[in-house]
């Protein structure tokens, strides 16, 4: 029926076309076929368009477009959008709107299978531009159609293409070409489906002939145009078409009314359900009200009994805060003198080589290091409990790390006459990526623990490659000793804080934090620790940690490491420090690397000397009397001094980072520190400052 409606439309039999498309539309709605609904609405729109019923045509075109978008048939959407373009351009004289519709139609069809629709739309755009005598804008589209004539696939469009070419060459004053195209257009005179385009061809040819002075011929073609137009739009045909169109409109209104009635029926059913829901809602509301009253009574009762718990919670939180503050304060107060002890010990060993074998000096150094380790353990356990520890990605060689741990613990192994043996799987890659510092801390705790509880024995460090998954290499660590061992009843306690399992005749040193830290750090790695031990049989701790192996990433990390800490230039450093022993230690370390040092006792001294002298870098203590390091740095920045400032402090880095950044401090070094790390940061900051000065 849709095909028959199309055929009647081509024959300009509007009455039959409207009737057929109306019946087809009825069936299409029953079938819920969006494509057929869109096609028939489009046919009805074209009928009204041809009959001059512009508003009705627009109404049906837009309905057609709605269903075409639902069906997602691109060629159909292109056709309907193009028809809307014709309507707005030629009938409503809304030229810009019409051309916009045409161009929107072109957007849909950029695929090979829509070449016919693209060609027809281009033809409509040309006709539109030529209609308003904008030949320049229309020519590119005409050129496209001339190059793709085969895509039109219909003589009706050939008529239009020929007279449009005639119009263009007429405007270009090439009368010979124009006449050739017009004659070709009017030569197609016997087909019903192209009769309308033929009428336009005679009209445009008449205008051209009049323009070149051939008035008789122009009049003849104008008469032909009128005859064809009368043939298309005779009164009887129009009257029948109007009746068919009226009936179609009635059907459309009936469809809308049926839709409204259906919606009304659904609303009525919904209302019935709503009444039931309301009744249920009221019943549920009463039940909820009863439950709320009961709940309020329970809350009041619990509130009275929870006041004590609330007070206890507040006291616990206050105690936790006090604990954190105490640990922070005590660690600072211990690190400050330790910095002096470690620094002066190192100075004595460097300046008096003959003392390097002194048992007393070695003991002093070991005691200072041991005390520093204790402070770090306290801080470490506190940070882990507060979830402040984040694992880092550093490149490292596992053999180097184990050797360093062995050397660090050589004094302890000699003290108890123990031997440390190392066995590393050769299949482990040379370089791995992971948090080597936390790993070293785990191994240091376990190995030092083994050495303390073993005498005249052996501590083994065995590392094997467990498995490989992608870039992850799983290392299986085993720390084994043949010492006193741990009783089965005590094995569940040793990973708790401050717990030391008693050994009958021995007095072992330690805080009881080492194994607790080990367990918590392994938890950050996503690992767990296993223990095998018995009294007199020794102890074995084992765990597995995955590390990444990525040669490219490793190379990048290694390349980013600054290794050259020497400088040909002599830099001028200002040390701001209130502790005289620490002044001496820091100065000695700095001057040893050929730097020039000036030392002041407080922040006011720093501000005063900076008025007269310029420095390459400032080492700033934080905890000073009168004015602390943060306030001093702020005042330095307010004076417009951009000299890099490094905080040299005994505070934990995490506690002061935010305030340090806001005050203008560039970096932080914690006392005691490794001189290599200090010089690396100093050199970097001085060179960066020089680059800024050059800019």
Q: Which of 97-106, 406-415, 611-620 has the lowest mean pLDDT?
A: 97-106
Burial of 127-151, coded b for 16+ CB within 10 Å and e otherwise, reads bbbbeeeebeebbebbebbeeeeeb
Q: What is the pLDDT of residue 215?
A: 86
Residue 17 has pLDDT above 60, yes or no: yes
Average pLDDT on 78-86 reads: 84
Q: What is the pLDDT of residue 476?
A: 95
> 427 to each of 355, 465, 468, 525, 554, how far by Cα in Å?
43, 7, 11, 22, 18
Q: What is the pLDDT of residue 418?
A: 92
> 471 to each of 91, 237, 287, 549, how far by Cα in Å?
71, 83, 60, 5
Per-residue confidence at 93, pLDDT binned at 50, 70, 90?
confident
The partner residues of 473 in beta bridges, in order of sequence, read 468, 547
Q: Which of 321-325, 499-503, 636-640, 667-671 has the lowest mean pLDDT?
A: 499-503
Q: For 217-230, how does the pLDDT look when each residue is reduced to its tens digit (9 = 90+)?
A: 888 888 888 888 77
Q: Which of 185-194, 317-326, 641-650 has the lowest mean pLDDT?
A: 317-326
Per-residue confidence at 508, pLDDT binned at 50, 70, 90?
very low
Average pLDDT on 529-547 reads: 91
CB-CB contact of 29 with 37 (8 Å): yes
**Percentage of residues in the chain with pLDDT exceeding 70?**
76
CB-CB contact of 648 with 669 (8 Å): yes
CB-CB contact of 333 with 575 (8 Å): no
CB-CB contact of 397 with 431 (8 Å): yes
Residue 112 has pLDDT above 50, yes or no: no
Domain ranges of the chain: 154-233, 316-388, 391-560, 572-694
Q: Which of 218, 201, 135 is nearest to 163 (CA)?
A: 201
Instruction: Report d(CA 473, CA 522) in Å as an integer.
Output: 16
Average pLDDT on 299-307 reads: 72
Residue 479 has pLDDT above 80, yes or no: yes
Q: Which of 19-33, 84-98, 231-245 has the lowest mean pLDDT?
A: 231-245
Burial of 501-535, coded b for 16+ CB within 10 Å and e otherwise, reads bebeeeeeebbbbbbbbbbbbbeebebebeeebee
**Pairing verdict, β 530-534 and 538-548:** antiparallel
Q: What is the pLDDT of residue 629?
A: 93
Residue 153, H or E segment: none
Judge if the upstream peptide bond of residue 672 is cis by omega within 30 degrees of 0.
Answer: yes
Average pLDDT on 600-623 reads: 92
Q: Which of 11-25, 143-157, 312-326 has the lowest mean pLDDT?
A: 312-326
> 467 to each of 428, 544, 553, how far by Cα in Å?
10, 10, 21
Residue 348 has pLDDT above 90, yes or no: no
Q: What is the pLDDT of residue 630?
A: 94
Q: What is the pLDDT of residue 474?
A: 95
Q: What is the pLDDT of residue 282?
A: 83
Per-residue confidence at 445, pLDDT binned at 50, 70, 90?
confident
Q: Which of 257-271, 302-316, 350-364, 591-605 has the lowest mean pLDDT?
A: 257-271
Residue 690 has pLDDT above 60, yes or no: yes
> 385 to each of 225, 442, 499, 513, 653, how far by Cα in Å?
96, 17, 17, 13, 17
Mean pLDDT score of the chain, rounded to an integer? 79
Residue 507 has pLDDT above 50, yes or no: no
The CATH code of domain 572-694 reads: 3.40.50.2300
* Fold assignment, 391-560: Heat Shock Protein 90 (3.30.565)
Token couple for 424? 């590393």
Per-residue confidence at 503, pLDDT binned at 50, 70, 90?
very low
Q: What is the pLDDT of residue 145?
A: 79
Residue 202 has pLDDT above 50, yes or no: yes
465: exposed, middle or buried (C-beta count within 10 Å: 0-12, 13-18, 19+)? middle
CB-CB contact of 495 with 515 (8 Å): yes
The answer for 533, left when phi > 0, alpha when psi is -120 to 50, beta otherwise, is beta
Instruction: Report d(CA 184, CA 419) in Å as an integer.
Output: 110
Of the spans 151-165, 205-219, 448-462, which averages the highest pLDDT?
A: 448-462
Instruction: Report d(CA 673, CA 646) in Å as an integer.
Output: 13
Residue 460 has pLDDT above 60, yes or no: yes
Instruction: Report d(CA 396, CA 588) in Å as an integer.
Output: 31
Average pLDDT on 260-274 reads: 63
Q: What is the pLDDT of residue 424?
A: 93
Average pLDDT on 511-529 reads: 80
Token couple for 148? 């793709």
Residue 621 has pLDDT above 80, yes or no: yes
Residues present in the chain in total: 695
Q: What is the pLDDT of residue 25?
A: 87
Sheet holding 572-576, edge to edge: 596-600, 572-576, 617-620, 645-649, 667-670
Q: How far apart are the first and last CA of the chain?
A: 81
Q: What is the pLDDT of residue 369?
A: 63
Average pLDDT on 649-663 reads: 84
Q: For 355-387, how does the pLDDT look when each residue is reduced to its tens digit (9 = 90+)?
A: 666 666 666 665 666 566 666 666 656 666 656
> 180 to each of 163, 205, 218, 223, 261, how far by Cα in Å?
10, 11, 15, 21, 61
Q: What is the pLDDT of residue 62?
A: 87
**Percentage of residues in the chain with pLDDT exceeding 90?**
19
Q: What is the pLDDT of residue 387?
A: 61
Residue 488 has pLDDT above 90, yes or no: no
Average pLDDT on 30-41 reads: 90
Per-residue confidence at 236, pLDDT binned at 50, 70, 90?
very low
Q: For 127-139, how does the pLDDT look when each residue is reduced to its tens digit (9 = 90+)?
A: 888 878 888 888 8
Cβ-based neighbour number of residue 364 at 10 Å: 16
């Amino acid at each position: 029926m849709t095909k028959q409606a199309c055929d009647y439309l081509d024959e300009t039999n509007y009455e039959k076309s409207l009737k057929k498309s109306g019946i087809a539309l009825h069936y299409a709605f029953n079938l819920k076929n969006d494509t057929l609904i869109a096609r028939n609405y489009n046919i009805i729109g074209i009928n009204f368009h041809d009959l001059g019923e512009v508003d009705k045509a627009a109404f049906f075109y837009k309905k057609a477009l709605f269903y075409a978008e639902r069906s997602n048939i691109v060629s159909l959407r292109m056709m309907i959008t193009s028809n809307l373009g014709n309507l707005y351009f030629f009938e409503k004289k809304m030229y810009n709107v019409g051309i916009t519709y045409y161009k929107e139609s072109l957007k849909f069809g950029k695929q090979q299978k829509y070449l016919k629709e693209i060609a027809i739309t281009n033809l409509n755009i040309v006709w539109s531009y030529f209609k308003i005598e904008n030949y320049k804008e229309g020519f590119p589209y005409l050129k496209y159609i001339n190059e793709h004539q085969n895509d039109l696939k219909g003589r009706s469009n050939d008529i239009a293409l020929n007279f449009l070419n005639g119009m263009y060459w007429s405007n270009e004053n090439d009368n010979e070409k124009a006449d050739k195209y017009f004659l070709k257009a009017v030569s197609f005179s016997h087909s019903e489906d192209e009769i309308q385009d033929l009428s336009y061809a005679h009209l445009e040819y008449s205008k051209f002939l009049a323009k070149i002075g051939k008035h008789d011929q122009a009049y003849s073609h104008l008469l032909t145009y009128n005859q064809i137009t009368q043939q298309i739009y005779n009164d009887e045909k129009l009257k029948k078409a109007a009746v068919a169109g009226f009936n179609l409109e009635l059907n459309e209104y009936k469809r809308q009314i049926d839709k409204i009635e259906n919606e009304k029926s659904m609303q009525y059913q919904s209302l019935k359900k709503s009444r039931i829901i309301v009744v249920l809602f009221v019943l549920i509301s009463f039940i909820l009200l009863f439950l709320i009253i009961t709940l309020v009574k329970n809350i009041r009762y619990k509130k009275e009994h929870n006041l004590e718990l609330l007070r206890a919670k507040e006291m616990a939180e206050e105690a936790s805060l006090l604990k954190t503050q105490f640990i922070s304060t005590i660690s600072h107060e211990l690190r400050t003198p330790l910095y002096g002890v470690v620094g002066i010990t190192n100075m004595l060993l460097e300046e008096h080589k003959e003392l390097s074998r002194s048992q007393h000096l070695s003991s002093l150094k070991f005691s200072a290091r041991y005390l520093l380790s204790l402070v770090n353990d306290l801080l470490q356990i506190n940070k882990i409990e507060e979830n402040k520890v984040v694992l880092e990605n550093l490149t490292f060689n596992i053999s180097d790390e184990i050797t360093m741990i062995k050397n660090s613990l050589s004094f302890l192994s000699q003290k108890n006459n123990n031997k440390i043996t190392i066995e590393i799987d050769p299949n482990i890659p040379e370089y791995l990526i992971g948090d080597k510092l936390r790993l070293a801390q785990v191994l240091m705790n376990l190995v030092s623990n083994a050495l303390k509880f073993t005498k005249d024995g052996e501590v083994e460090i065995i590392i094997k490659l467990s498995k490989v998954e992608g870039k992850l290499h799983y290392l299986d660590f085993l720390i084994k000793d043949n010492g006193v061992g741990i009783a089965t009843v005590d094995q569940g306690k040793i990973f708790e804080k401050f717990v030391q399992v008693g050994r009958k005749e021995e007095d072992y040193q330690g805080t009881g934090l080492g194994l607790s830290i080990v367990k918590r750090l392994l938890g950050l790695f996503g690992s767990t620790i296993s223990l095998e031990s018995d009294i007199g049989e020794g102890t074995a701790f084992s765990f597995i940690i995955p590390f990444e192996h990525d040669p490219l990433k490793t190379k990048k990390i290694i390349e980013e490491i600054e290794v050259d800490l020497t400088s040909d230039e002599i830099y001028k450093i200002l040390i701001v420090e209130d502790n005289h022993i620490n002044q001496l230690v820091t100065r000695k370390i700095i001057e040893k690397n050929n730097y020039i040092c000036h030392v002041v006792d407080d922040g006011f001294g720093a501000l005063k000397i900076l008025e007269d002298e310029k420095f390459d870098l400032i080492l700033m203590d934080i905890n000073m009397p009168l004015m602390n390091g943060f306030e001093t740095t702020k005042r330095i920045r307010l004076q417009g001094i951009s000299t890099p400032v490094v905080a040299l402090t005994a505070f934990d880095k995490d506690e002061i980072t935010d305030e340090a950044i806001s005050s203008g401090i560039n970096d932080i070094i914690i006392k005691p520190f490794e001189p290599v790390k200090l010089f690396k940061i100093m050199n970097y900051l001085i060179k960066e400052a020089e680059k800024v000065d050059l800019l």
